């Protein structure tokens, strides 16, 4: 994983370099291509992950597992249709924790659960707030399209003003209490500075795509392959892609239908992130249980 992060750093700066050469429209196209490839792929093998967790083997049929999963997705869609503001807030909370959990898995071994949850949530939340604060008008328009509620732009800055000091306080506390995590802490803070530069210099979709794919989706795929096969290799990656193929294709078809029906950029962005949220809800639960080594919600 250490070698991969070196690659991700170089790739991120390469993405920044590309930003200065491509038009806004090209960045949007490339950004969505990245999200549609590795971004969607990293959540397409959830059913396989569930089937490979020992606590549910022999006790849930494939159709029952699929039924649970589809039910959660449809619940997410229903929430966005009936109470979109609540659904969006839930999506931000779940995504924030999910992003933080991916980067700080080992934190669970040394600290109380409430501290771990708070820290992981704040890590992901600040990443999202950094992205939001550098593209406030676009984010405001997307939220308006989804919820019909206009969030005042100063609120985005206000949120990060409260969240960042608490996050830094927890960073100092963890740095002080755990010598084993000090090097990782400094490295992750360096990464956050890199994300800040990335989000400031790039467009909303391009910046999100680079973070989401290079820093979340691909590391998640590596973790999933290690969980499923014991180690990561090109052969195991190909097998992973084959297993995820049908679910990835279904997701791409769904997104394509949305695009064909709603070609307006702001409206499509809103619907796309709503779709992403609906599939994020069950995925975040599956990955959280994978890190714990068991899935109790489907028992």
Percent of the chain with pLDDT strictly greater than 70: 85
* Residue-wise pLDDT tens digits, 44-58: 777 677 777 655 555
298 pLDDT band (50/70/90 cuts)? very low
pLDDT of res. 250: 78
pLDDT of res. 59: 52
Q: Is the pLDDT of residue 295 over 50?
A: no
267 pLDDT band (50/70/90 cuts)? low
Burial, 163: exposed, middle or buried (Cβ in 10 Å; 0-12, 13-18, 19+)?
A: middle
- Distance (Å) of CA 265 to CA 152, 214, 285: 21, 24, 30
Rg (C-alpha) for the chain, rounded Å, is: 19
pLDDT of res. 294: 40
pLDDT of res. 147: 84
* Residue-wise pLDDT tens digits, 136-166: 999 998 888 888 889 999 999 999 999 999 9
Cβ contact 43:275 at 8 Å? no
Query: Residue 55 gets which letter from DSSP?
Result: G
- Distance (Å) of CA 268 to CA 17, 35, 77, 272, 295: 27, 14, 15, 6, 34
- In order, the DSSP letters of 111-160 are S-HHHHHHHHHHHHHHHHHHHHHHSHHHHHHHHHHHHS----THHHHHHH
* Residue-wise pLDDT tens digits, 70-125: 777 777 777 777 888 888 898 899 889 999 988 888 777 678 889 999 999 999 99
pLDDT of res. 243: 82
- Over range 269-279, report the average pLDDT: 68
d(CA 202, CA 19): 6
- Distance (Å) of CA 168 to CA 105, 114, 132, 160, 172: 18, 16, 19, 12, 6
Q: Is the pLDDT of residue 299 over 60?
A: no
Put residue 145 in one of left, alpha, beta given phi > 0 → left and psi -120 to 50 → alpha: alpha
Of 56 and 169, more confident: 169
pLDDT of res. 16: 82
Of 103 and 257, more confident: 103
Query: In 3D, which of 95, 129, 84, 90 has the Cα closest to residue 216?
Result: 95
- Strands (DSSP E) along the chain, which ranges? none
- Over range 274-298, report the average pLDDT: 66
* Residue-wise pLDDT tens digits, 1-36: 557 888 888 898 888 888 777 877 888 888 888 888
Find the farthest-apart pair of alpha carbons in the chain and give their distance in angstroms, rounded. Answer: 54
Percent of the chain with pLDDT strictly greater than 90: 29
- Over range 128-139, report the average pLDDT: 94
d(CA 189, CA 194): 9
* Sole residue written with tokens 């995590």: 181
Q: What is the pTM of this model?
A: 0.85
């Amino acid at each position: 994983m250490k070698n991969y992060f070196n690659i991700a750093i170089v790739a991120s700066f390469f993405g920044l370099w590309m930003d200065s050469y491509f038009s806004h429209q090209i960045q949007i196209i490339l950004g969505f291509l990245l999200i549609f490839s590795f971004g969607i792929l990293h959540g397409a093998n959830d059913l396989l992950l569930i089937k490979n967790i020992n606590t549910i083997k022999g006790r849930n049929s494939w159709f029952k597992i699929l039924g649970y999963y589809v039910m959660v997705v449809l619940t997410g869609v229903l929430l966005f249709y009936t109470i979109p503001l609540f659904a969006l807030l839930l999506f931000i909370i779940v995504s924030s924790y999910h992003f933080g959990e991916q980067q700080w898995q080992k934190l669970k071994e040394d600290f109380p659960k409430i501290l771990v949850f708070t820290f992981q949530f704040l890590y992901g939340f600040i990443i999202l707030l950094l992205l939001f604060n550098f593209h406030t008008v676009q984010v405001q328009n997307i939220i308006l399209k989804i919820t019909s509620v206009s969030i005042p732009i100063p609120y985005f800055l206000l949120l990060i003003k409260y969240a960042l000091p608490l996050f830094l306080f927890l960073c100092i506390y963890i740095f002080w209490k755990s010598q084993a995590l000090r090097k990782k802490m400094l490295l992750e803070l360096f990464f956050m500075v890199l994300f800040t530069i990335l989000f400031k210099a790039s467009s909303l979709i391009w910046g999100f795509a680079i973070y989401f794919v290079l820093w979340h989706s691909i590391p998640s795929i590596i973790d999933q392959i290690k969980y499923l096969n014991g180690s990561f290799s090109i052969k195991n990656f190909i097998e992973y892609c084959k297993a995820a193929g049908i679910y990835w294709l279904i997701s791409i078809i769904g997104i394509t239908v949305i695009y064909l029906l709603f070609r307006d950029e702001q409206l499509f962005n809103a619907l796309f992130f709503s779709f992403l949220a609906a599939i994020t809800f069950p995925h975040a639960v599956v990955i959280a249980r994978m890190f714990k080594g068991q899935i109790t919600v489907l028992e």
